[in-house]
Structure 1
Amino acid sequence: MSTRAPLDLRQIYVEARAAALPRGQEILARFPEAERIEVASHWNIPGLHGNAGLVRDWLKIKRQVLVLGTRKTLTMRPNGRSADFIAPGMANGCALACAYCYVPRHKGYANPVTTFANIGDVTGALERHAHQQGRKPQANSVDPHAWVYDLGENSDLSVDALISDNVRDLVTLFRGLPNAKASFATKYVNRELLTYDPQGRTRLRFSLMPAQTARVVDIGTSPMHERLAAINDFVEAGYEVHLNFSPVIVFRGWTDAYRELFRQVDAALSAKARAQLAAEVIFLTHNAGLHEVNLGWHPRAEDLLWTPQWQETKRSEYGGENLRYRRGLKGKAVAHFTELLRRELPGCPVRYAF
């Protein structure tokens, strides 16, 4: 698993409106050597999106290509699991290359980061929405007091922060919202975020899995020992830090591997980190289209992800066909996982598991 910097930008596809905005100009100035290619839409770039021949350059495109656009949709979607609401993200796609990531299903055979330059539109929408919610009337599994907004449904904000100040601006916004918190999951340790001064208003969820599994499927991410070592530092810097066990992948010997991981977490935690800890658990969902993409660049990952002897097809809420662990097997696996977690990390509540 690579530990090098995830970005080495050589090309920037840019919408004219994005290039005219202050944030767009800042991003272009940050990468002055990158070739600029003007496009009409960040969603439809001929030769990049839907080009099956590019699957061979999957990792290269992620590292070397950036798409710079503007966000049109500013809707807050109700959630209830990782957050109360899914916020309109300031990026789509990722420079990391986790083999199970669902975002490429919507982009075809190339999945570089798309960053949005209209940060003011998004922060304004978030602020208005939070004010409209008022005080949270009662505690729920998301948070006892604050409305929580997931900012990174389709990207990794720790990587996004390498591209622009969008993430810093979002953390700053939530620092001033007394009834709301930001939240995002990450697989990359970006220590620059330690300077953002979140004052308890941003929840960072470190995604964890057994190291031997991560070496196969979490390409380009921070090694597991670095993520574990960062937990205490981020708590000290004012973040609320939770654990994101996602995706949980079933393989022969998986429970022994997770038992060892839980013990590594237990050994790494400070008393302060332990006191505010909570976890979420999400078992793997795979997809036939993503399976085909992965066969073109990383077939070894499919030995872990594509296990039809244990999986069944299920239609998603958006109409697509996904593969999930069979109903009886998954129920037993979720119960076993959560019991093992409670036994090894007894002070860590499970906010949800499925």
Structure 2
Amino acid sequence: MKEFIPTKIFYEESIKKYELGRELLKKYNFIEKESIEAHHKLNIDKDISEFNNIKRTLTIGVRKSIILRKDNKSSDFIVPFTSSGCSARCLYCYLVHNFKLNSNLRIFVNRDDMMNKIIKNINKINRDAVYEIGCNSDMILENSITGNLKWAIEEFSLLKNAKLTFATKFNMVDDLLNINHNGNTKIRISVNPEEIIRKVEFNTCNLEERIEAANKMFRAGYKVGLNIAPIIIVKNFEYIYEKMFIKLYELLDEKLKNNLFIEVIFMTYSMENLNINKINMKNSVNLFIDNKFYEKSKGKYTYKYLYRNEAEKIIIKLIKKYLKNAKISYIV
């Protein structure tokens, strides 16, 4: 995957107090910079037609609020970690709904504060727990800029009753293959049919690159799963998803196929996505076919039971056919 080079950097002056902050300013000394009051208050044109331009920028700041949230799917706790937002432009991205024009990649330089919060939580609960550190970003993408994921994996390798997890659509994993992880990290590779990746998940890695990353991480001793997400009910749904499963069957490491866990997540779409895509991705596919959706919360839509139930049956059938030894962790 081509390295992300921002067109402009917004930064808080306080990052200069941190080694990583100083390193990033030096690393990007050739890029235009603007000092800002706070990472969520960019001095930008708020018109949504500027979305693509803003997505090419990078914001660097200090995370002030670090509150762990309980989870019951991929982890026990969700941790606000070292980044939020992303440089990719997936048409369904929930970060766009949450952050709108502030969904560009934001990096936070105070990683020790986040790790200290995790350790405090570990001591408080006094039991084994899994911590999700990539809920608001893609940690593989961020790691290619900061090295924070490599650092976090090594920090977790020293812990006795805690594991970290994250999902990714990227393949830049080579610097994670020869480090000490002690079996305390589980990676979820996000997959979709190539047709969907190409037309919906812009600026991410293709399916074969993601499978290669899964194999590399598994052979390096990591626990590896697939995050089939988001499932999008499109024309010829079963045909294009079966092609994906055939590719997984053919290319995944044989031992990995016997030790695989799978998460299945159906797409949620929002009016923010729809409005931004109409203006900025004029030739992109329309994901919002209103007769297939119902509003599950204000401005957020998901598939009606009739369509979702049929698609779920197809996905389960394909998993049993091509990845019969895999364990389905959950379906939502």
TM-score by length of 1: 0.89
Contact 1:74–1:122, Cα closer than 8 Å, also in 2: yes
User: Are the counterparts in 1 of residues 83 and 107 from structure 2 also a CA contact under 8 Å?
Assistant: yes
Contact 2:81 2:111 in 1 (8 A): no
Counterpart in 2 of 1:81?
73
Q: Does 1:104 align with 2:96?
A: yes
1:10–1:33 CA contact under 8 A, matched in 2: no
Alignment of 1:323-342 (within 5 A): 323-342=301-320
Partners of 2:100 and 2:82 lie apart in 1 by 20
Q: CA RMSD in A?
A: 1.7
Distance 1:33 1:153, change over 3 A: same
**Post-superposition offset of 1:352:** 0.2
Cross-structure match for 1:144: none
Q: What amino acid maps onto 2:138 in structure 1? A: D
In the alignment, which residue of structure 2 is the partner of 1:288?
271
Say how many residue pairs are matched: 331
Q: Does 1:51 align with 2:33?
A: no
Cα distance, 1:162 vs structure 2 = 1.8
CA distance in 2, matches of 1:195, 1:94: 26
The letter of the residue matching 1:238 is: G
The Cα of 1:70 is off from its aligned counterpart by 0.9
Per-residue displacement from partner, 1:207-237 (whole Å, max 9, x unpaired)? 1011011100111111111111222211112
Tell me by how many angstroms 1:298 deviates.
1.4
Gapped runs of 5+ residues in structure 1?
137-146
Question: In structure 1, the residue corresponding to 2:100 is in which secondary structure?
Answer: coil
C-alpha displacement of 1:198: 1.9
Q: Displacement of 1:254 after TM fit?
A: 1.0
The 3-state SS of whatever aligns with 1:72 is: coil
Identity %: 26
Give the CA deviation at 1:116.
0.4
2:167 pairs with 1:185: yes
Do residues 132 (structure 1) and 124 (structure 2) align?
yes
Matched, 1:154 2:146: no
User: 2:158: which partner in 1?
Assistant: 176
Stretch deviating more after TM superposition (258-267 or 328-337):
328-337
Matched, 1:18 2:15: yes
Contact 1:68 1:117 in 2 (8 A): yes
2:195 counterpart residue number: 212
Q: Deviations over 1:112-147 (max 9, x none)?
A: 2110011110011111212322233xxxxxxxxxx1
Deviations 1:238-258, CA, capped at 9 Å, x for gaps: 221100000000012111211
Shift in alpha-carbon separation, 1:197–1:299, aligned structure 2, 3 A: farther
Q: Is the 8 A contact 1:342 1:349 kept in 2?
A: no
- Residue 78 of structure 1, CA deviation: 0.6
Separation in 2 of the partners of 1:228 and 1:165?
A: 22
Q: Which amino acid aligns with 1:32?
A: N
User: What residue is the counterpart of 1:167 in the other structure?
Assistant: 149
2:54 aligns to what SS in structure 1?
Answer: helix
User: Match for residue 265 of structure 1?
Assistant: 248
Encode CA deviations 1:156-178: one digit per residue, 9 max, x unaligned: 01110122122122111111112
1:61 corresponds to 2:57:
no
| Residue equivalent to 1:344 | 322
* Amino acid across the alignment from 2:122: A
Q: Distance in 1 between matches of 2:111 and 2:216?
A: 28
- Helix, strand or coil at the partner of 1:245: strand
Per-residue Cα deviation, 1:54-100 (whole angstroms, up to 9, x for no partner): 13xx1x4333x111111112111111111111111211110111111
2:37 corresponds to 1:40: yes
The amino acid that maps onto 1:51 is D
Q: Which runs of 4+ in 1 moved over 3 A?
A: 299-302
- Unaligned stretches of 5+ residues in structure 2: none
Cα deviation, residue 110, structure 1: 5.2
Contact 1:4 1:220 (C-alpha < 8 Å) held by counterparts? no
Equivalent residue for 2:27, pick from 24, 27, 30 = 30
Is this contact kept in 2: 1:11–1:66, CA < 8 A?
yes
What amino acid is the match of 2:305? R
**SS of 2:141's equivalent?**
helix
CA distance in 2, matches of 1:106, 1:45: 16
CA contact (8 A) 1:281 1:353 kept: yes
CA offset at residue 300 of structure 1? 3.8
1:236 matches 2:219: yes
CA distance in structure 1 between the aligned counterparts of 2:330 and 2:299, rounded to whole angstroms: 24
The change in CA–CA distance for 1:175 and 1:40 in structure 2 (over 3 A counts) is same
User: 1:4 aligns to what?
Assistant: 2
What TM-score results when the alignment is normalised by the length of structure 2?
A: 0.94
Match of 2:185 in 1: 202
